[in-house]
Structure 1
Amino acid sequence: MGCLLCPHTLENSLHVFVDCPYAQEVWHRAGLQLPTGPGDNFIDWFLGAINSLTKEHIAKCLMLLWGIWKNRNSQLWEHKRQRWHASEVVLLTMGWYEEFKKVNAQPTKIRRQSVKWTRPQENWVKVNCDGAFQPATRKGGPAVVIRDANGDFQVGAARPLPLVTSPFRAELMVLKEGINLAVALQHEQVLFESDCSLLVQALHSEVSKSHEVHL
């Protein structure tokens, strides 16, 4: 069987994860310079790669490998017409990595501070987005509220979403819902507000500045 991510006529593990132009673009977007050899198979390549990487880079490497593999399987089993963009694989997998670090971090005392909603500038509207995620069912849901400069409610939206892969993915999808709703209402001056710091950081990263996130 040929490669599902490029026109190459033969597919093996080394090609899918290393030699495929799609995989190479993913590694490039992630900023990881990985060795290209020696090694005639994926195991040899991987063992050689981890010897030159830090513990943090090894964790990121494993997440990227999973992202590439998940995308490849989506093409095979779900018959998706449009594959994930390489930049989206990086955003999603680095989101998984940040979530992994949070889960495995030592518990610390958190000082909670109430946050008061603030009005947008005159003639602007504010879109507040929040995403929910249930790991057991892999279901999620977006909640979107649009208010004007006076703080008056304009419109809101909420609906269930099946097959959500992570909390970060849920936040991406709720942002898309907010954008679509603002476009439908023909708003041109829109401020988006989210409580997901990882999403905000991702959208301000170099990856998102130069490449579109596909949902």
Structure 2
Amino acid sequence: MESLEHLFCTCNLSREIFGNPPFSFPQSHITWKDWLLERAVTLTPAMFDKLLVLLWSIWRNRNEVLWRDKGKSPHQIIIAAMAWYEEYLQANVAHQTSSAVNRQSGRKFWKPPFGTALKLNVDGGFLPTTNQGGLGGVVRDSQGHFIAGFAHSRMEHVSSSLHAE
């Protein structure tokens, strides 16, 4: 069974992606979780966002190899990850612009928490033919900035989207 430590730190693909600063994984005995926490503190928010997109891209590539026998080179993974990151930034700017217009029109949208509180939004889904589902969530601050997220797939014995949530 493959571990997260192997996937993100010791496999050849990850070593090539994270082989240079600012994402370099040290050769010491630090765990990948401690490395990630250190990166969260030492990198700028934009660089840490890029790191998270790269980690997600490595995970996604692993699944493509595992389930479809199709994988990308480290170079292709980096290019795709940065393209998704730029697309996200552009969509976020467009969303902020349209949100101001939609507030005036009375449409309902995500509302931020007050003060220093955080807000967790979750969504679940299921496949009625297999009784399997999944769940994902996003934590944001009062400015709408991404704080954390999670996803859990392959939940067994799920009878509805609400049940998955």
TM-score, scaled to structure 2: 0.51
Q: Matches of 2:46 and 2:8 in 1, distance apart?
A: 19
Which structure has greater helix proportion? 2
Q: Does the 8 Å contact 1:23/1:68 carry over to 2?
A: yes
SS of structure 1 residue aligned to 2:42: coil
Aligned position for 1:33: 23
Q: Matches of 2:33 and 2:25 in 1, distance apart?
A: 13
Aligned position for 2:150: none
Which 4+ stretches in 1 moved above 6 angstroms? none
CA distance change for structure 1 residues 61 and 101 in 2, over 3 Å: closer, same or farther? same
The answer to which structure, 1 or 2, has the higher relative contact order (CA under 8 A, 6+ apart) is 1
Q: Matches of 1:61 and 1:79 in 2, distance apart?
A: 25
Q: Does the 8 Å contact 1:60/1:94 carry over to 2?
A: yes
Task: Write the letter of the residue equivalent to 2:52.
Answer: L
Q: Give the count of matched residue pairs.
A: 95
Task: Write the letter of the residue equivalent to 2:15.
Answer: Q
Report % sequence identity.
33
Q: Does the 8 Å contact 2:53/2:85 carry over to 1?
A: yes
Task: Write the letter of the residue equivalent to 2:92.
Answer: N
Aligned position for 1:84: 72
Residue 43 of structure 2 is aligned to residue 53 of structure 1: yes
Task: Write the letter of the residue equivalent to 2:9.
Answer: V
Q: Matches of 1:65 and 1:57 in 2, distance apart?
A: 12
Q: Does the 8 Å contact 1:71/1:84 carry over to 2?
A: yes
CA distance change for structure 1 residues 79 and 35 in 2, over 3 Å: closer, same or farther? closer
Q: Matches of 1:97 and 1:12 in 2, distance apart?
A: 26
Aligned position for 2:92: 104
Aligned position for 1:93: 81
Aligned position for 1:23: 14
Q: Does the 8 Å contact 1:34/1:49 carry over to 2?
A: no
Aligned position for 1:12: 3
Q: Does the 8 Å contact 2:9/2:25 carry over to 1?
A: no
1:79 to partner: Cα distance: 2.6
1:19 to partner: Cα distance: 2.0
RMSD over aligned Cα, in angstroms?
A: 2.2
TM-score, scaled to structure 1: 0.40
Q: Matches of 1:72 and 1:86 in 2, distance apart?
A: 12
Residue 54 of structure 2 is aligned to residue 64 of structure 1: yes
Gaps of 5+ in 1: 2-10, 109-215
Larger radius of gyration: 1
Q: Matches of 2:24 and 2:40 in 1, distance apart?
A: 9
1:144-202 Cα offsets, whole Å, 9 max, x none, are xxxxxxxxxxxxxxxxxxxxxxxxxxxxxxxxxxxxxxxxxxxxxxxxxxxxxxxxxxx
Q: Does the 8 Å contact 1:67/1:93 carry over to 2?
A: yes
Q: Matches of 2:19 and 2:97 in 1, distance apart?
A: 34
SS of structure 2 residue aligned to 1:51: helix
Task: Write the letter of the residue equivalent to 2:39.
Answer: A
Q: Matches of 1:68 and 1:98 in 2, distance apart?
A: 17
Gaps of 5+ in 2: 99-165
1:49-81 Cα offsets, whole Å, 9 max, x none, are 21111101011001100110011111111233x
Task: Write the letter of the residue equivalent to 1:18.
Answer: C
